Structure 1
Amino acid sequence: MNAPESPAPIRLTSFSHGGGCGCKIAPGVLAEILKSSSRFPVPPQLLVGIETADDAAVYQLNDEQAIVATTDFFMPIVDDPYDFGRIAATNAISDVYAMGGTPIMALALVAMPIDRLPVETIRAIIEGGESVCAAAGIPIAGGHTIDSVEPIYGLVVLGVVHPKNLKRNAGARAGDKLILGKPLGVGVLSAALKKEALSPEGYAAMIDNTTRLNVSGRSLSTLEGVHALTDVTGFGLLGHALEISRGSRLQMRISMQQVPLIDGVARLAADGFVTGASGRNWAGYGADVRLGSGIGAVEQALLTDPQTSGGLLVACDPASVDEVLEIFRRDGFAAAAVIGELEMGEPLVIVD
C-alpha cells in the first residue's frame, strides 16, 4: 500500500495580488485621493503631518520629547511565513528610524484567511515579526486581528525623538550629497520569486536586505550636516528622491553608475522580472524625471522598483559624507554609497 502523498507546501505569495511595498497605491492615484486632506487645521504640536508625504507623523510633547507614530502592512512578498513576518516588521519599524527616532513599542495588525491558512502558518508569521521587534528592543504591546481574503501583516510603531534631532524628507540644501544605504532590487527579486525563477543565493540576498533594521537613522539624526532623511520603499528610488527634491524645492542629480544594486538584479530585470508597481510608479511621477540618453528600460525599471524595507536616503553636507558612510558601515550597510547631489533649480530628478 502506497503512503499518502504529503500536501503541497503553501505558497503565501499565491494568496496576494501584489507583495510587499509593491502593493502601495500608485503615487498619482494617492495624490488624487489625498489632495483635499490638508484643508483641516492642525495643532502646532504636530511637527510632521501629511504635507510632504513623510515617513511618519511626529507630535511634540515638550521641549525634550516628540512622539513618532507610523503604521505599515502588506501582503506576502515571500512564501516562508516566518520570513514574511520578519520583513513586514522590519519595514514598519524603518519609518521611525527614517525620522531620526528610536522605536519604543509596536502593535500588530493581523488579517488572515482563517479558513485557508493553517494556524501554524499564521503563528509563524507573528513569531517572525516578534523576532524583529526583539532585535529592535521593543515589545509588541497589543494589536488587532480580522478574518481576511488575503494574508496581511504589519505593525503600528511608536517611537521617540528629540525635536532638535528630527529629520524630515524636506530641508535638503543646495550642494548636499545624496547617499543611499541599501542596494536596490527587492521588487525584481520578488517578481522572480513569484515565478519560481529566483536562485537560493538571490533569495538569501533578498532576505538579508529586507530584514536589516535601518538603525543608522538614530545616529544620523544627531549629525548637524544631515539635512534630510527618508527611506526608500514602495515608490522606488526615484519616487522617494522626488519627495526630497519637492520638499526642499531643489533639483536633484543621480548617477546611475553609482547606485548600488543587489547582485544579479540587472540581469533579472533585463529578462523581464519587473513588477507592475514599477510601471505604475513611473506613470505617477515620470513627468518630473529626466533620464539621460544612456538610461534605458532596464535602468528605469530598477530606479522605479518598489523596495520593501529599503535603505535610508540621506541628503547631507559634503563635509559630512565620510561620517555618514562610516555610520552606515559600522551598522553593517556595506553597499552604502554616494549616488548624487542637490542643486538650485526646478524640483525634479535628473539621472545620468
Structure 2
Amino acid sequence: MDEGNQSVMSEFVLLGLCHSWNIQVLLVMIFSVFYLIIVSGNIVIMVLIITDSHLHSPMYFLLANLSFVDMWLSSITIPKMIADFLKESKTISFGGCMSQIFFAHFIAGFEMVLLAVMAYDRYVAICKPLRYSTIMSLRMCIRLVVTSWITGFVHSMSQIVMIVPLPFCGPKEIDSFFCDRPLVIKLACMDTYSLDILMNLDCGVLAVTCFILVLTSYTYILLTVHRSCKSGASKALSTCTAHITVVVLLFGPSIFIYVWPLSITWVNKFLAVFYYVFTPLLNPAIYTLRNKKIQNALKRFRSYYLECKGNR
C-alpha cells in the first residue's frame, strides 16, 4: 500500500438503524422515553437501597451496583443515537469511537462478573444459610465488586490496545448506531482475520466463564431446593427467578454478537438495541415488580415523602 494513500482516520460515519426520516423521528421519541425510564428507574433503586435500612444486605448492595452500571451502559450509546437521528450526517470522532468501545467492554465485563457474584451470593444464601453472614460480609462484598471492576477494566484494555494502533485509511462507514468493535476493526487497512478471532476469543472466555459460574451456582441451588420442603423451595425459586432472567437478557445478546461465528447485520443491530436499551430498561422492572422488599421500601419512601410534604 502506498504511503500516500494512508491517512489518519479523524472520524467514522455511523449508518444508524434506518434511513427513513419519519421512522427516525418516531425512534427519537421512543428512545428518549426509554432512556428517561432507564435513568430514573435505576436511580430510584439505588436511592432506596442506600436510604432504607431494611435493604442493607449483600444482595441489595450488589443490586445497587447492577443498577448503577445499567444506567451507564445505556448512556454509552442512547444519547448519541438519539442525537444522530436528528442529523443528516451521523459522524463520530476517532477518539469518541474508541471511548465507546472502551466503556462498552468495560461495563459489559464488569456486569458479567457481577452477575456471577450475585449468583454466588444466592448460592451461599440458599445452600449455606447458617454461614451466609460470615461468608458474605461487607468486606467480602466490597472485594467482589472491586474484582468485578478490575476484571472489566482489564478486559476492556485488552480490547482497546489492539484496536487503537490499527491503520485506518478508509472506508470509514460503520453499519450500526454505535462503534461496535467487530465492525470497526473490519475498516482497518490490513488483514484482521486473526485479530478478530483473538478478540472474539477474549470476549468469549470472559462471557463463557462467567456463564458457567452462574450456571454452576444455580445448579447447586436447584439441587438444594429439590431436597428441601415445598415452602422453602417456592421462596428460594422466587428469589432466584429475577436473577436468572437478568442473566439470560445479558448473556444471550453478548454471546450471539461476540462469540457466534455467523454475522447478520440486521440481527446484530436488533441484539445491540436489545442489549443497550431493553436490558437496562427491563432490569429495574424485573427487580421491583417481583421483589416485595423493594416494593415495601418504595411504599415507605413514598409515605415519608408525602409526610414531609404535608408538614411544610
TM-score (norm. length: structure 1): 0.26
Give the structure with the larger strand fraction.
Answer: 1
- Larger RCO (CA within 8 A; separation ≥ 6): 2
